[in-house]
Amino acid sequence: MKLIIKPEKGFGKIEIELDDEVAGEIKRLSERYGVPVERVAEIALAGEFREPSGELEELERKVRELEERAWKLEKEYSSLRFKAYGLSEDNKILAIELSGLIAENNQLRRFLGMKPERNLELRKLISYYLQG
């Protein structure tokens, strides 16, 4: 692996050829911690290593426990989300039907010579359910 170090200002760069073992270790660390390969090499060269505070294994165990709890909650609430989606779709259908009935009612009122009603609150409610 070829590593090229460029200064922030000015010219000149340093090219370093890393053997396969070191390059493999850098890539492994990069994948393990989700950090770009360049950043791992920069940390290694600058010596910015930090010792973990506390027990790393204990923290990883706690993370696994939290992930398990999150998945349990996801299982519980997925059925509720599905039901909520179904109700939302039902509300849309009802809003469409209600809109049609209001239009039919207004046509009948015009036919009978009456003034059509303008239910602004009802129309706002219908538009809310049609958009949601």
pLDDT in tens, the chain (132 residues): 777 767 677 777 777 777 888 888 888 888 988 888 878 877 777 776 666 666 778 888 999 999 999 999 999 899 999 999 999 999 999 999 999 999 999 999 999 999 988 889 999 999 999 887
Dihedral angle of Cα 98, 104, 106, 111, to the nearest 10 degrees: -170
Answer yes or no: pTM beyond 0.85.
no
d(CA 39, CA 42): 5
Give the DSSP letter of residue 4. Answer: E
* Domain ranges for the chain: 2-46, 56-131
Q: Which amino acid is at 24?
A: G
List the structure tokens of 105: 């009612």
Ordered alpha helix ranges (H), 34-55: 37-46
